[in-house]
Amino acid sequence: MDKDYWTIACDCGRASCRGVVKDFKCLSLDLQKKYLSLGVVQPYILRRVLPTLFERIF
């Protein structure tokens, strides 16, 4: 998502569920990298977070 501090409870019931869906920018750096490598981050989110994400990685 692309809102500041947006969250929603997740009731999917999977054992690996974190229980909450958050803004991409609020996820841990490792989880952000995982989602980027999987190609599941929407283009409009990438345009907003890539400049600051690049600074956090390097």
The stretch 17-33 carries a mean pLDDT of 89
Domain boundaries, the chain: 7-57
Nearest to 25 by CA among 47, 44, 49: 49
CA separation, residue 9 to residues 13, 20, 44 (Å): 11, 4, 23
Residue 48's pLDDT is 83
pLDDT tier at 58, thresholds 50, 70, 90: low
Mean pLDDT of the residues in the chain:
84
| Residues in a beta bridge with 21 | 8
Residue 4 has pLDDT above 80, yes or no: no
